[in-house]
Amino acid sequence: MSIARQVLNCSRFTCRSAHVTCRKTFTTSQHVMMSRHTHAKRIEGLDKNVWVAFTALAADPSVVNLGQGFPDIPPPSYVKEALAKAASVDRMNQYTRGFGHPSLVKALSQVYGKAYGRQIDPLKEILVTVGGYGSLFSAIQALVEEGDEVIIIEPFFDCYVPMVRMAGGKPVLIPLRLDVSRCHADWFLDPDELAGKFNSKTKAIIINTPNNPIGKVFTKDELQMIADLCIKHDTLCFSDEVYEWLVYRGHQHVKIATLPGMWDRTVTIGSAGKTFSVTGWKLGWSIGPEQLMKHLQTVMQNSLYTCPTPLQEAVAQGLLLNYELMDQPECYFTSLADELEGKRDRLADIVEEAGMTPVIPEGGYFMLVDVTALNQDLSHMDEDEAYDYKFVKWMIKEKKLAAIPVTAFVGEESTKDFEKYIRLCFIKQDSTLDAARSILKSWTKV
């Protein structure tokens, strides 16, 4: 302590005499000073992030980017027009209601009232957040703490685990398993294995349907199994449904909150970014019963208070427009799914042509690809990393094609089951998919 003080006193004295010397002296004493400036314990071990690493790698414009999940197709023009219009109104450039811009929460109440088959109170049962991400954060911060366990299904959108840990909770992982016995391979949750993960400490289970990265759309029976366990063990359910409108033929999106006994214990998360192909707007929402939502609102009012106004107004307009068109082909929720189904099939063909095995997604805009058949030798790369990490890094560098390694979405124990997969995003222009095709074609020719 006294040595530190001596160094500090020394540096202060030097500082007074010469500003230049000051800087240099501080570099030495900085070390001593900084040792007190430790970060809060809550962020321990949470600084790594797959996106920060791989987005930088894929940023090279010569790389064909099927990695990070954002469209390179334009959003519907009416949504951009609505934003331009909102921005031209004085009042729309100033603060709006903290828990959600009135016209937006009303529109959400309308659209989801229909989807849920119940009256949703726009003021008490809805919270507008900074993306689906912000909703996950608000829910976890509001309802998870030290001593709580949270069940997370692998593969999971990578933020679930660090968010639960930051809230002091303990992530309990359970993998989706591949059943190859059926003619069409299926990913499923083993009921006994799942039941075994629930105990008296289980505070919540996080589900994601349609799932990122696999694209699984949970069936009603599967959701009922989860619901039965939630009710039996009195746990909450955080249902990440950001890809809810992107469900392909033969499948149906089911909201777990609509199953008996589930409304009161579920927070359902949605995203304007995914709904309207405007990920850069970062608007999302949580919907649930007042007794849960009020705590999310408390987190909101103590973290960022309110979301941007003109963006919320524009999303409200977009929702109202599509509400009128619901179930019709012109409805963006339908037309986007149609468009993406075509792209999904196109990418699957491209991948198969190249000798790899696609996992055909039932929903969402990602496709898992099994790269085993390529037999790519990566022994020259860092031994510590999982195969898929090495593969993707190699592929970006050597082939100028970006993907995301799937083990980023699983815990350590499941790494060996998932490291043969990479994730490709197909909400891309046909030209982008064509460019990917060229790369893959020339690759296998070698």
Q: 67 to 126, contacts with other proteins by CB under 8 A?
A: 68, 70-75, 80, 83-84, 87-88, 90-98
Nearer to other proteins, 387 or 426 (CB): 426
**Mask for 257-286, x = binds other proteins (CB under 8 A):** ---xx-xxx-----------xxxxxxx---
What the block records as the tokens of 300 is 């909101």
Nearer to other proteins, 429 or 442 (CB): 429
Q: Which one of residues 216, 255, 274, 295 is an interface residue with other proteins (CB under 8 A)?
A: 295
Strands (E), 259-382: 266-271, 284-287, 357-359, 366-370
Pseudo-torsion of CA 70, 76, 77, 80, nearest 10°?
Answer: -50
Shortest separation between residue 386's beta carbon and other proteins, angstroms? 21
Taking the C-alpha atoms of residue 375 and residue 300, their distance in angstroms, rounded to an integer, is 49
Nearer to other proteins, 49 or 444 (CB): 49
Residue 277: strand, helix, or coil? coil
**Mask for 376-405, x = binds other proteins (CB under 8 A):** ------------------------------
Nearer to other proteins, 81 or 398 (CB): 81
Bond before 155 cis per omega within 30 degrees: yes
Nearer to other proteins, 75 or 405 (CB): 75
Shortest separation between residue 210's beta carbon and other proteins, angstroms? 19
How many residues bind other proteins (CB under 8 A)? The answer is 94
What residues contact 192, with CB distance under 8 A and at least 6 apart?
none
Taking the C-alpha atoms of residue 373 and residue 420, their distance in angstroms, rounded to an integer, is 10
Nearer to other proteins, 87 or 378 (CB): 87
**Mask for 13-42, x = binds other proteins (CB under 8 A):** --x---x--x---x---x--xx-xxxxxxx
Taking the C-alpha atoms of residue 224 and residue 62, their distance in angstroms, rounded to an integer, is 46
Nearer to other proteins, 254 or 267 (CB): 267
Closest among 416, 429, 348, 355 to 387, alpha carbons compared = 416
Nearer to other proteins, 291 or 328 (CB): 291
Closest among 341, 282, 288 to 314, alpha carbons compared = 282
Taking the C-alpha atoms of residue 344 and residue 369, their distance in angstroms, rounded to an integer, is 12
Shortest separation between residue 102's beta carbon and other proteins, angstroms? 10
Pseudo-torsion of CA 168, 170, 171, 174, nearest 10°?
Answer: -170
- Our CA angle for 322, 327, 328, nearest 5°, is 80
What residues contact 53, with CB distance under 8 A and at least 6 apart?
none
Nearer to other proteins, 284 or 358 (CB): 284
Shortest separation between residue 229's beta carbon and other proteins, angstroms? 12
Q: What are the C-alpha distances in Å from 134 to residues 8, 138, 226, 249, 284?
A: 41, 6, 24, 30, 7
Residue 369's identity, in one-letter code, is: V
* DSSP 8-state assignment for residue 418: H
Taking the C-alpha atoms of residue 241 and residue 423, their distance in angstroms, rounded to an integer, is 19
Nearer to other proteins, 267 or 396 (CB): 267
Cα separation of the two ends of the chain: 65
**CB-CB contact of 92 with 86 (8 Å):** yes
Shortest separation between residue 291's beta carbon and other proteins, angstroms? 7
**Residues within window 307-326 making contact with other proteins, judged by CB under 8 A:** 307-311
Shortest separation between residue 146's beta carbon and other proteins, angstroms? 8
Rg over alpha carbons for the chain, rounded to the nearest Å, is 24
**Mask for 141-180, x = binds other proteins (CB under 8 A):** xxxxx-------------x--xx--xx-------------
Shortest separation between residue 130's beta carbon and other proteins, angstroms? 4
Nearer to other proteins, 145 or 352 (CB): 145
**Residues within window 225-264 making contact with other proteins, judged by CB under 8 A:** 231-232, 234, 236, 260-261, 263-264
**Residues within window 43-62 making contact with other proteins, judged by CB under 8 A:** 43, 46-47, 49, 51-52, 55
Q: Which one of residues 57, 172, 304, 321 is an interface residue with other proteins (CB under 8 A)?
A: 304
Q: Which one of residues 110, 219, 224, 306 is an interface residue with other proteins (CB under 8 A)?
A: 306
Nearer to other proteins, 134 or 358 (CB): 134
What residues contact 397, with CB distance under 8 A and at least 6 apart?
57
- A 10 A CB-CB count for 427 gives 23
* DSSP 8-state assignment for residue 75: P
Q: Which one of residues 181, 302, 375, 379 is an interface residue with other proteins (CB under 8 A)?
A: 302
**Residues within window 330-359 making contact with other proteins, judged by CB under 8 A:** none
Shortest separation between residue 24's beta carbon and other proteins, angstroms? 13
What the block records as the tokens of 280 is 């850069």
